[in-house]
A = this chain, B = another copy of it.
Amino acid sequence: MVVVSAEARLKQLALCLPKAPTPFGAYVEAFQSGPLLFLSGMLPVAGHVPLYVGLVGRELAVDEGYAAARAACLSGLAAARERLGSLDRIRSVAKLGVYIACPAEFLDHPKVADGASELLLDVFGAHRLPPRIVLGVSSIPLGMPVEIELVFEIES
């Protein structure tokens, strides 16, 4: 197996990370304790402007939820690169949380969450996939449909 670096994979995939997110309040986007890098909840935004608004399964279709999860996860990669200098300092993804604003009747959470998971798979490879927590929630800041929680393990 040839392990391709995360930054090299981004180039192969022609993926440009968005601008690193900036806080909506009195918090920081990332904090490292020992080898663990904890990120703030990542949203599908451009700057502070939502890219998607609404509940998945009501205003938004599943494929829009998938796209929103991917966009939020791209923001998480941007936040990690901003903090670390390079995604190549990431050894593994320790936790992926995908929180989806949706009605009680919604059933397709995994398909939405795959928007984040498949991006991580593309960038870090199958040997560095994280465990995943997926929940349907009643709402997300500014009415956005998806919020992503990421904890990375960093090379020491």
Contact = CB atoms under 8 A, between A and B. Distances in A.
A39 B95 CA distance: 8
B109 A38 contact: no
B101 A132 contact: no
B103 A38 contact: no
A106 B95 CA distance: 27
A18 to B, nearest CB: 18
A99 B41 CA distance: 12
Contact of A107 (B35, B103, B142): B142
Given A136-B101, A147-B135, A117 B25 contact: yes
A55 to B, nearest CB: 6
21 contacts: A26-B126, A27-B129, A28-B130, A31-B94, A31-B95, A33-B92, A33-B153, A38-B95, A38-B131, A40-B131, A40-B133, A41-B132, A103-B138, A106-B138, A106-B139, A109-B139, A109-B141, A134-B141, A134-B147, A135-B140, A136-B137
For the complex of A and B, the 4 pairs showing the least CB-CB separation, nearest first, are: A136-B139, A27-B132, A26-B117, A40-B131
